[in-house]
């Protein structure tokens, strides 16, 4: 599945940020470097990355979003 800007924004915390584990699922170091959003938008996510980033099973993603 391709990571879109919309999907990225949908899974922010209530404070408008992302958890460390979410960014690590995308292969990013903590804290993320400036411009990280532009670098990850468009990347292909494995099912495991999707699950780690969203906390949802990729086979059920339509139920959550």
**For 27-56, how does the pLDDT look when each residue is reduced to its tens digit (9 = 90+)?**
999 999 999 999 999 999 999 999 999 988
Round to whole Å and give the CA distance between 40 and 36.
6
Instruction: Give 65's pLDDT tier (boundaries 50, 70, 90).
Output: very low
Instruction: Give me the torsion for CA of 36, 19, 49, 51, rounded to 10°.
Output: -150
Helical ranges in 1-65 per DSSP H: 5-10, 20-25, 36-40, 47-54
Q: Whole-number mean pLDDT of the chain?
A: 89
Instruction: Give the percent of the chain with pLDDT over 90.
Output: 82
Instruction: Give 24's pLDDT tier (boundaries 50, 70, 90).
Output: very high
Round to whole Å and give the CA distance between 63 and 46.
18
Who has greater pLDDT, 31 or 61? 31
């Amino acid at each position: 599945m391709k990571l879109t800007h919309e999907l990225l924004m949908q899974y922010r915390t209530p404070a408008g940020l992302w958890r460390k584990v979410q960014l690590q699922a995308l292969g990013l170091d903590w804290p993320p470097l400036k411009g990280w959003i532009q670098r990850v938008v468009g990347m292909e996510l494995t099912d495991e990355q999707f699950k780690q980033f969203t906390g949802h099973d990729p086979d059920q993603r339509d139920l959550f979003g």
